Amino acid sequence: MSYNKELAAAKKAVSLAARLCQKMQKAILQSDVQSKSDKSPVTVADYGSQALVSYALQRELPSELFSLVAEEDSEDLLKDGGQETLERITKLVNDILASDGSYSDSTLSTEDIVKAIDCGKSEGGSQGRHWVLDPIDGTKGFLRGDQYAIALALLDEGTVVLGVLACPNLPLTSIAGGSQHSLPGEVGCLFFSVVGGGTYMQPLDSSSAVKVQVNATDNPEEASLFESYEAAHSMHDLSSSIVKKLGVKAPPVRIDSQAKYGALSRGDGVIYLRFPHEGYREKIWDHAAGCIVVSEAGGLVTDVAGNPLDFSRGRYLDLDTGIIVTNQKLMPSLLKAVRESIEEKASSL
Ligand SMILES: Nc1ncnc2c1ncn2[C@@H]1O[C@H](COP(=O)(O)O)[C@@H](OP(=O)(O)O)[C@H]1O
Ligand SMILES: [Mg+2]
Ligand SMILES: [Mg+2]
Ligand SMILES: [Mg+2]
């Protein structure tokens, strides 16, 4: 099946959202940041990005039944003093659309914005088509001025068939060996994949795409590890013991968001490990786009049992602890090192 129409719509929607985020990352004010009920941060840019992607997809694909599984909703936004914030988001979205010249037939009202955001409440699942959106993945990185991503995927009958990942702060050239605070060169990458068609990367501000592939080394000494910058999101001590066991020499590269999947898909690093602390449940929008971007570039994304991630079960991923990403040659020895390190950690408690 071809997803050309959907890919064009997804690239347009994500590029508009990336422009909004770039504009806001420089200008973000203390009053633009709120705390959600789970204590995680959310900003006017997260809401603006979600509204833009939701609206643009519906404008680009008007004849399709629209279902969107997205991270944000208007409940936290409209809590105490939210009307003023909503007006700022509305202006921001209208400004981006006006400067792009898109959909100039209509100016969005605050009600339109709430409606566009709340379209994202779908439960997803194994039947039909569902868009899956993280309007800003790595909000903590976004607030620090570091890496973040706008991640959009399409699920068809429970399988991810398309993914678009905008990484506005990711350099166009390799970040191997770098730290996310000091990455040199021109930035702004858009990765995209359709099932069976490979992964491509283009600069966010141009349309000249190149095909990318994961680093296929089977030598752990040539491999490096990507992981979350935030120690609260992934157990750094566990990943450190795993890569040591495997024979990796390079220090870990800690960066925020699904930019890790993007950088891995073009071979900047070889391994991505994610081990949330006890009790955390992974959401599908944190991995759907990244997963197809890496898989179509020749990589593998599994849980600790070696099973592929199952995006068909609703808003959450039900996983056997942890997410393991690497190339096909290294996966067996990496999974072995993962299991041994987990057992050692359990027996030392
Ligand atoms: N305690 C926790 N453990 C694991 N992941 C968490 C977490 N709290 C938040 N996250 C997720 O980690 C994502 C960021 O990933 P990373 O650590 O790779 O940058 C967040 O996405 P958002 O920023 O979209 O909320 C959020 O969904
Ligand atoms: Mg969040
Ligand atoms: Mg996220
Ligand atoms: Mg997010």
Q: Which residues surround ligand 2, an ion (CB under 5 A)?
A: 40, 139
Q: pLDDT category, 182, cuts 50, 70, 90? A: low
The two tokens of residue 218 are 């089977």
Q: What one-letter code names the amino acid at 17?
A: A
* pLDDT over 70 percentage in the chain: 99
Q: From atom 4 of ligand 1, which residue's Cα is the shortest distance away? A: 233
DSSP conformation class of 283: B
* pLDDT over 90 percentage in the chain: 88
3-state secondary structure 199-234: EEEEECCCCCCEEECCCCCCCHHHCCEEECCCCCCC
Catalytic center residues: 46, 139
What backbone torsions phi and psi does residue 36 show, to the nearest 5 degrees? Answer: -80, 175
Q: pLDDT category, 38, cuts 50, 70, 90? A: confident
Q: Nearest bound ligand to CA 285?
A: 3
**Residue 286 among known ligand-binding residues:** yes
Exposed / middle / buried, residue 207 (Cβ in 10 Å: 0-12, 13-18, 19+): exposed
- 73-120, pLDDT tens digit by residue? 999 899 877 899 999 999 999 999 999 999 999 899 999 999 999 999
Angle at 329 between CA 324 and CA 331, to 5 degrees: 20
- C-alpha 236 to ligand 4 mean position (Å): 21
Q: Nearest bound ligand to CA 70?
A: 4
Q: Which atom of ligand 1 is nearest to the CA of 148?
A: 19
Q: Which domains does the chain have, with CATH numbers?
A: 4-212 (3.30.540.10), 220-347 (3.40.190.80)
